[in-house]
């Protein structure tokens, strides 16, 4: 936001993967303060992961041993945390999927390094939050992308009248097929047209 204030305004933002999540997080946080004044008039998200909830307070995740993970939500009181099940919490689902993958790469050769604790922000989820982005958005999602599910769920947080969804047969990368590239370019042009004729 410092860059926007110093060098902006900017019409649109483009983000890839967690960069897309960061872009969406920035827009959502600004629009919560003032829905009529988004920091960007359009956004392009390529292989996005779910945006983060800055108001959530961190989720404290502890790895006790190679097979045991516990989690505590800071925005819940002690009593609520006793019955809290992070495995069924939609806001932690994407985080824990990612954390499970990272957990496998932890060094277990010296068990004296355990337990290890990390604090993570929760992510928005359409099962919990309503639509939050009311600007033209383009979503480019790979069918083979390991974050494919997050990408599709993220589209549900955006205004269906102002979004374009492009899928391609690849993984966690920009589309390589000519047809998907053309559709992506056309969707970006569509978003730019919306900027020109919008009241944002």
pLDDT in tens, 78-110: 899 888 888 788 888 667 666 666 666 656 666
Q: Where are the domains of the chain?
A: 59-120, 130-200
pLDDT at 136 over 70: yes
| Residue 187 in tokens | 């969707």
Q: What rounded mean pLDDT belongs to the chain?
A: 86
Give 6-13's long-range contacts (Cβ < 8 A, gap of 24+): 8/39, 9/39, 10/39, 10/40, 11/40, 11/41, 11/42, 11/192, 11/195, 12/40, 12/41, 12/42, 12/43, 12/44, 12/191, 12/192, 12/195, 13/40, 13/42, 13/43, 13/44
| pLDDT at residue number 108 | 60
For the chain, percent of residues with pLDDT exceeding 70:
88
- The residue with greater pLDDT, 61 or 25, is 25
pLDDT, one tens digit per residue, over 157-193 is 999 999 999 999 999 999 999 999 999 999 999 999 9
Average pLDDT over residues 46-53: 92
pLDDT at 200 over 50: no
> What pTM value is reported for the model?
0.82
- The residue with greater pLDDT, 24 or 101, is 24
């Amino acid at each position: 936001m410092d860059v926007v204030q110093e060098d902006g305004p900017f019409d649109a933002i483009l983000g890839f993967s967690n960069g897309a999540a960061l872009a969406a997080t920035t827009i959502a946080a600004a629009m919560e303060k003032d829905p009529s004044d988004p920091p960007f008039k359009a956004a392009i998200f390529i292989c996005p992961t779910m945006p983060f909830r800055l108001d959530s307070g961190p989720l404290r995740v502890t790895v006790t041993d190679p097979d045991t993970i516990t989690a505590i939500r800071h925005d819940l009181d002690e009593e609520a945390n006793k019955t809290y099940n992070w495995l069924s919490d939609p806001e932690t689902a994407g985080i824990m999927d990612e954390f499970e993958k990272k957990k496998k790469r932890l060094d277990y050769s010296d068990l004296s390094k355990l337990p290890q604790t990390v604090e993570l922000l929760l992510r928005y989820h359409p099962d919990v939050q309503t639509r939050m982005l009311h600007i033209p958005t383009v979503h480019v999602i790979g069918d083979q992308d390991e974050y494919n599910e997050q990408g599709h769920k993220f589209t549900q947080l955006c205004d269906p009248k102002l979004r374009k969804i492009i899928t391609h047969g690849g993984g966690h990368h920009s589309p390589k097929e000519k047809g998907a590239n053309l559709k992506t370019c056309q969707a970006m042009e569509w978003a730019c047209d919306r900027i020109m004729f919008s009241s944002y």
